[in-house]
Structure 1
Amino acid sequence: MSTTELSVSTPATAPGRRRGDLILFMAIAFGVSWACWGTAIGLGGPATPDSPTYLPFLLGAFGPLVGALVIRVRRTRRGEPVPEHAVRFRPAALLWAPLLMVAAAGTVLLAAVIGQAAGDTTLSWSDARGVMAGMGGPAAFLVSMAVSGPLSEEPGWRGTAYPRMRATMGRFQIALVLGVVWAVWHLPLFFVEGTVQNGLGLTTPGGVLFAAGNIPMAMLVTCAYERAGVLASIAVHFAVNTTMVLLSVQTPATQALITGCQLVLIAALLATGPRAAGSGTRVPAGGPAGAPARDGGSAAAGAL
């Protein structure tokens, strides 16, 4: 092969590698998670710490993280830089993450308060304490909520899948696609006793709203990722999950209100955040546009 041929054909391999990485990531994320959750379904019993079902249930949440680590190893072995659209870590993320976490939790709390005023649900601190006690106390509850969901998923969905999809898709397209993928990925949990999804039911209005709610939720954590990287997306994911569990949000009306409040927050973040029009514009995170993010101290943790 001549030098000219090599120079022409080499760039063309990037889209193929990107697609290959995405397919491999999805296969691992679904394979690991569904295998573990299938085991939990087979064992039966509630997904509580004192049940043998709990371990495979918990391990299933790590499918996206395992996929992300595999892709990171592959990328490192190929000597490739961090994907162009990965949002790098900046000290400002340490400020944005808690602010976005409070805002995300506020959408759930506001929806629950409106629902209570309308007679749909009743907020109870004693119920929240009961939830934490059932998980082994406040510390164990918070650790469980942080690990099973935010930490085990966001390095995969946002840190790995999002930057590669962003090379050819807009943020709204990605939110739609990842929202649907996310909903399908959660499907086995409807059959694991003791999960939020099982309590809702697969074919009930609550179950349908849970599935549909993955799309605005995907957009919300995407906005957080674009603003301050994986740390912020973890914070937002943690805030929404934890607040919903503590408030025992299950009624369709309150679920719909949460979606509405999230859409308002999304609109605010889009209006005040980085302008990233089009599929080819990189979203900066405190650095100059177009500065490549390569391996090293400047790369975001979880930008795989």
Structure 2
Amino acid sequence: MTILRRRPLTSFFVLACTLSWVAWTPYVLSENGLGLWAYRFPEVLGTSQILGVLPGAYLGPIASAFLVTALVDGRPGLRRWIGRMGRWRVGGRWYAIALLGVPAVLLVAGTAQAGGAIVAPSLTALAMYVPGLVLQVVTTGLAEEPGWRDFALPRLQGRLGALRASFVLGPVWALWHAPLFLTEWGGRDTTWISPLNFLIFTVAFTVVVTWLFNRSGESLPVAVLAHVSVNNTASVLWGEMFPTIDGDGSMQAMAAAATVAAALVVIGTRGRLGLPDRAEDRQDLSSDTVTT
């Protein structure tokens, strides 16, 4: 308990990674991963990740954030944490950026990577886009963002500022995903370069999401939608529209897109990423001690 109070962020990061990695171990060892265990996870909705990845995702960021918040900050902290999850009433432009701008930037990057060799998506893919987005919200979005953006980001920003906080959170976010590159999640046609491009992507995209989170008044729904828009575009549209791009090329294109977007955000905000100047506007951003 003393360690949690003195080092809540370190405790959260360690718990989030440890709980998820332990839960993912069977998936990594199975035929869906390294093949050391003669078992294949059954597919649900066309993918083994629902049963192989999702339980560990729920045990990681969101569960760790809830546990550390409850033990360190008590009911007031939980109210702040839950309150950011319900901040839906924000300007429509932030939803437009999350829902339309993010996929648009990725598709432009894919078109450039493919040298203009783009294929129109099928009607099935277009019809599945919105249901896929909803599924991503209640799986990936709910599992991860209450931890990364709702718990960790405000605490990091309170001491480090928005930009440096993003440079801390991005690599941790990438590290949390690391074991999944040994499974079908990472793709069968990828090499060692994909984890490196993924690291670049997560750091750059964290800068963008930090800006969206701050400018929308710490709205977690906006952060969630930005995150799942990437996943949904990659899962539903990318393969059909860019069949000539392999796994490494896809990750490279997404990393490049996120880097350009992050650079524009940093330049446009002079590095503040929308973080309020006035102390009274920062609410609980500095209410926790950062030790990383």
- Normalising by structure 1, report the TM-score: 0.71
One-letter code of the match for 2:170?
G
Query: Does the Cα contact within 8 Å between 1:179 and 1:214 map onto a contact in 2?
Result: yes
Q: What RMSD, in angstroms, separates the aligned Cα atoms of the two structures?
A: 3.6
Could you say which residue in structure 1 is the equivalent of 2:7? 20
Counterpart CA distance in 2 for 1:89 and 1:141 is: 23
Could you say which residue in structure 2 is the equivalent of 1:172? 163
- Identity across the alignment (%): 23
Could you say which residue in structure 1 is the equivalent of 2:26? 39
Quick check: which has more Rg, 1 or 2? 1
Matches within 5 A, 1:209-224: 209-224=197-212
| Residue 54 of structure 1: how far off its partner (Å) | 3.7
1:33-65 per-residue CA deviation (whole Å, 9 max, x = no partner) reads 112211222343357317877424211222111
Query: Does the Cα contact within 8 Å between 1:283 and 1:289 map onto a contact in 2?
Result: no
Could you say which residue in structure 2 is the equivalent of 1:150? 141
Residues 255 and 192 of structure 1: CA distance in aligned 2, closer, same or farther (over 3 Å): closer
Aligned equivalent of 2:43, options 43, 48, 57: 48
Could you say which residue in structure 2 is the equivalent of 1:102? 100
Matches within 5 A, 1:73-88: 73-77=70-74, 79=76, 82=80
Aligned equivalent of 1:161, options 131, 152, 163: 152
Matches within 5 A, 1:1-304: 20-44=7-31, 45=40, 48-49=43-44, 54-62=50-58, 63-77=60-74, 79=76, 82=80, 89=87, 91-93=89-91, 95-118=93-116, 122-126=118-122, 129=124, 141-193=132-184, 195=185, 197-201=186-190, 203=192, 205-228=193-216, 229=218, 230-245=220-235, 246-248=237-239, 250-272=246-268, 276=272, 283-284=275-276, 290-291=280-281, 293=283
| Residue 253 of structure 1: how far off its partner (Å) | 4.3
Counterpart CA distance in 1 for 2:65 and 2:25 is: 21
Could you say which residue in structure 1 is the equivalent of 2:288? none
How many residues were matched structurally?
262
| Residue 289 of structure 1: how far off its partner (Å) | 5.3
Residues 141 and 92 of structure 1: CA distance in aligned 2, closer, same or farther (over 3 Å): closer
- SS of structure 1 residue aligned to 2:143: helix
- SS of structure 2 residue aligned to 1:155: helix
One-letter code of the match for 1:263?
T
One-letter code of the match for 1:68?
A
Which protein has the bigger helix share? 2
- Normalising by structure 2, report the TM-score: 0.73
Structure 2 unaligned segments of length 5 or more: list them: 32-39, 240-244, 285-292
Residues 159 and 247 of structure 1: CA distance in aligned 2, closer, same or farther (over 3 Å): same
Counterpart CA distance in 1 for 2:129 and 2:80 is: 37
Counterpart CA distance in 2 for 1:159 and 1:234 is: 10
Could you say which residue in structure 1 is the equivalent of 2:36? none
One-letter code of the match for 2:71?
R
